[in-house]
């Protein structure tokens, strides 16, 4: 899932050609089929399949054998009726020596406009889908590989946004057991080294604003549904040594079946810029383990936490109290905005913990570049890219680090600098709020 004109179709074609011929390079670390394979290659229409994946595999119509499949491996081919220069089926010589058996692989070219019913019945080793299909086509194609323990891969730019197909990959947490059989490889225009910096800038400028993220970074297009429509480049920063006089704060979102997530922030009060410099996201793990990870990053740093931390859970009474018992420097109260004349009404408790108010505060800081995030925090950026609305409401899926960041912004006034021993009176309990 990558930017336009990045080379993703070439990558998909190379994978298919290797499995079709059995000529695995010495450096190959991927899946190996020792027997000849039967596979499908499909695109949006027969014409697009011809101009895309067929061209990559075979070469152009007047130069068959110049594509990813060498000429000496193409044994036979049959044309598709009604579509000029399009192939229906090709027979490929298979055999690479060693454990790879000699024989004949088969590739059939198909198109999504034939409908889901045309993707039934057959049993396959491989399926390559170039451009994103509808869910019905995807599931039918995937089903063809069940009995063979085969594989399916797709190459596309996610212009359909958070579609059902994209969600089957992107909304799975990295530690979700359901994710063991799938992965997402993303690449941006900055990874395309065949473009100069000037060419990249020109290409980016040529796209409409709402398509830039998808076409240049392979991020599903969100349009008005995206919660934070801010260009990543504006708010990313390269990690640096944090000055000791900058106050720090951690903030957590508590979970079990969904991950427990924590972010660590440093606040440059002189310029009022908040830097998210570390994050942590782990699911189905006991509180002592989370607590150890939090303390390892600075046991003195106060931790903001959500209102539901006051609730009893399956892990025991009051979750926030359990973390406190483990030595985590939990804030005395759950995260909330400061009391003002505007929220001293009867709805004050709701107003002071409002999700929308927290999101708007984050958005305001992002827009003015007063909330920045380290570029190496991949888990955080994965959530940022997927954080979106549906029918006006924020989708509460894979948003744990976003929620933790929101709690941190709500409680930012409680950030502190690291205490020194000179400030501590051994004869009295330490009140971190006084330091």
Which residues belong to the active site?
A: 131
DSSP one-letter code for 185: -
β-pair type (393-394, 389-390)? antiparallel
Do 360 and 223 touch, CB atoms closer than 8 A? no
Q: Sign of dihedral through CA atoms 318, 320, 326, 327?
A: negative
For residue 107, the cross-strand partners are 39, 90
Give strand ranges (E) for 19-143: 38-43, 74-79, 87-94, 103-111, 126-130
Alpha helix (H) ranges present in 173-330?
A: 197-206, 212-217, 232-235, 287-296, 319-325
CB within 8 Å of 2: residues ≥ 6 apart: 8, 155, 157, 185, 186, 187, 188, 191, 218
Q: How many CB atoms lie within 10 A of CB 370?
A: 14
Cα(298)–Cα(295) distance, integer angstroms? 5
Cα(330)–Cα(306) distance, integer angstroms? 11
Q: Which residue has the tokens 């427990």?
A: 260
Q: Sign of dihedral through CA atoms 407, 412, 418, 421?
A: negative
Measured at the CA of 358, the angle between CA 357 and CA 360, to 5 degrees, comes to 65
Do 124 and 144 touch, CB atoms closer than 8 A? yes
Which DSSP string do the residues of 128-171 spell out, in sequence order?
A: EEESPPPHHHHHHHHHTTTTTT-EEEEE---TT-S-HHHHHHHT
């Amino acid at each position: 899932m990558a930017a336009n004109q990045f080379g993703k179709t070439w990558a998909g074609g190379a994978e298919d050609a290797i499995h079709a011929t059995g000529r695995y390079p010495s450096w190959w670390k991927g899946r190996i089929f020792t027997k000849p394979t039967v596979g499908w290659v499909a695109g949006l229409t027969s014409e697009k399949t011809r101009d895309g994946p067929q061209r990559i595999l075979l070469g152009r119509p007047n130069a068959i054998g110049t594509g990813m499949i060498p000429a000496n491996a193409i044994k036979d081919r049959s044309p598709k009726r009604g579509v000029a220069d399009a192939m229906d089926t090709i027979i490929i010589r298979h055999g690479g020596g060693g454990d790879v058996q000699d024989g004949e692989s088969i590739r059939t070219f198909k198109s999504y406009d034939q409908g889901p019913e045309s993707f039934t019945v057959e049993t396959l080793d491989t399926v390559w889908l170039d451009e994103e299909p509808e869910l019905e086509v995807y599931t039918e194609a995937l089903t063809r590989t069940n009995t063979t323990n085969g594989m399916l891969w797709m190459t596309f730019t996610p212009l359909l946004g958070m579609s059902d197909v994209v969600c089957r990959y992107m909304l799975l947490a990295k530690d979700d057991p359901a994710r063991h059989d799938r992965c997402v490889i993303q690449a941006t225009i900055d990874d395309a080294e065949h473009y100069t910096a000037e060419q990249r800038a020109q290409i980016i400028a040529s796209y409409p604003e709402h398509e830039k993220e998808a076409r240049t970074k392979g991020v599903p297009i969100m349009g008005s549904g995206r919660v934070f429509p801010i260009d990543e480049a504006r708010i990313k920063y390269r990690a640096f040594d944090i000055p000791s006089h900058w106050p720090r704060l951690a903030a957590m979102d508590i979970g079990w079946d969904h991950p427990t997530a924590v972010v660590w922030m440093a606040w440059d009060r002189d310029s009022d810029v908040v830097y998210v410099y570390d994050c942590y996201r782990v699911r189905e793990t006991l509180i002592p383990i989370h607590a150890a990870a939090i303390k390892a990053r600075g046991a003195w740093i106060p931790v903001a936490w959500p209102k539901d931390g006051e609730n009893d859970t399956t892990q025991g009474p009051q979750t926030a109290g359990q973390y406190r018992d483990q030595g985590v420097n939990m804030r005395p109260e759950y995260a909330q905005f400061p009391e003002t004349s505007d929220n001293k009404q009867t709805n004050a408790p709701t107003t002071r913990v409002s999700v929308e108010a927290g999101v708007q505060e984050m958005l305001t800081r992002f827009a003015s570049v007063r909330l920045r995030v380290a570029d190496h925090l991949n888990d955080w950026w994965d959530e940022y890219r997927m954080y979106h609305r549906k029918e006006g409401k924020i989708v509460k899926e894979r948003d744990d680090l976003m929620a933790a960041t929101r709690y941190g912004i709500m409680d930012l006034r409680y950030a502190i600098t690291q205490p020194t021993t000179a400030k501590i009176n051994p004869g009295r309990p330490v009140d971190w709020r006084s330091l």
